[in-house]
Structure 1
């Protein structure tokens, strides 16, 4: 369906067509193998790096293309239609990690790290989650104590994406044992730093691996402090970008599953005619389509309003909550429309069902989004 997307520029339409073509020709044919192996898609990332796609969130003076949040949303949406694993890898490069360095990093940090990120030569990992700390990030236990010109980091992070291949880790840490969210900030820790250990990978139902990252008296130069004062608030503001980009991947998965279901129901015949001709099937397809369009409107609003900055907290939460839950419903309906074949690995919809399930867990659960939205509603007696 070649509907014109609303409020996007001619350049963005060209960007969408470029990514769609690459995904169909390069990423989608190998998506099953990547999902089964869980391997990082280095080949696909090189293609995108060479095209300058991985620098979309980075200013031109550091080798990027100085794009908008909407550009990043469109990129991930298209990639996720064909390859969830590649979409998740790209999310790590154009999402909160690079945006945080751009927004909060020193000039030296930007010059040192951003050009490599833009080229796809520096892989990023963000380390927040701990065994007892998931949504309650303000109570993390990982601690950094200043000794001379270095911070000594101790603690363990869990369920970390890309940790096995990362060159640079953005580590959420508590400074000097200061309690509460005010004590939380972020350090940039390079691969190979003594005391940094990546252990025990867990393969997810979507195919990618998540890792444990341990810091054992890991000495990090003081110059590698990304955020210290008012750090937690700044990092959570940057994280609004991740909410939108998380939603863009699940939107793409829903759209990809819908496309597969539409094609299948037109081809599959029962009782002498395509099953798409039955009213009940058309109603299912209609419901799926409307849900996708509603999600797209919410997500695009948040992304367009953000420009090159960070999305509004409530707009991002609303978009993430609805899109994540929508993707679970739509991909499951797409499987249902395939009948028994949808449950087999011969058809891509079962991968999309599994991939879509990540959205409501990563980047803040659906329940956390409802908490954020609920607190916002209670601040006033009149919303509309």
Structure 2
């Protein structure tokens, strides 16, 4: 069995998280023959397959994850006739701690964390003559991906906290609160950056930017959540941020129709029916500035509005991805420029205006008036620049503006955070 297949078996084993929480019980042995060659010593020929497996598994349940965050953030409505919870639980705020919209992305992200931990364990135990530089590159890669996955889970559970120490399934760390977990994640990213600076990229890298640039970009995002704007700026200096560059420059998940690879499940054809559709929230369409080309991410339905679940008939489809093999951004230049604006907004407003105007120019808009860059301006630009990429709910929450989310029907409510999964035993 090759290493890619071993990681697939590992992932299926870790789907036990859906039933058993983070503990692996009832005969599920993560030290069994499926994973022993990884954890007991990764070899040079195995390494690129392990790295490829980790990158591939980062995509698992990505569609569910993005849909969940976008629905609670009122970026769009998700219609699926076979499952009314998209327009029920997630919009009424009555959340089930054992429902797919929580447990599947939760388990998928921790599966990748486990794979990273196995790689780190295998590096410690290897008899292969990796140089110190190579070891640093491997450690830096594994810890960067692990930190990113943990940050994704933390964004969902927020003040409920997460487990950051899950290396030993028989001795799991306790839940860390939001602030503590965020500090742990940033510490992991900073440590990984030191390794990547010394070791460079491990192969393969299909993201589109170096692993160090990706690390510093994610660090800037996490530091903004923490309100640590000096770290935001220093991390951006080492990232791929480019004021003269394309807004879509960045790190991406890749998809293809080849072999056993995965398709982009965030793609739906235009005029999709209620069986499976993503409908741009009317407020996104109606609140845009005239001439804002970012509104092109919502396309008018030529087959007519979709009327489901007592919601105002939806007139526009979400149309960010035009095929099932389009890549999905993990983090890109446009977000980094907006993080630069945010970090400078109070202490260096001229720089903030410059950055905002770079983004607005790319969107076909006039510059802002001098002295007008504030939280509302920042949140407008982030809303339209990062539409349906999983940011608005997090942004409004961290700026204490969740009450700005539109309530579409009587009985709807705003979600602040997701519960700890039922089988975590908390």
TM-score when scaled to structure 2?
A: 0.29
Q: Normalized per residue, which structure has more helix? A: 1
Q: Which has the higher contact order (CA 8 A, sep 6+)?
A: 2
Q: Normalized per residue, which structure has more strand? A: 1
TM-score when scaled to structure 1?
A: 0.31
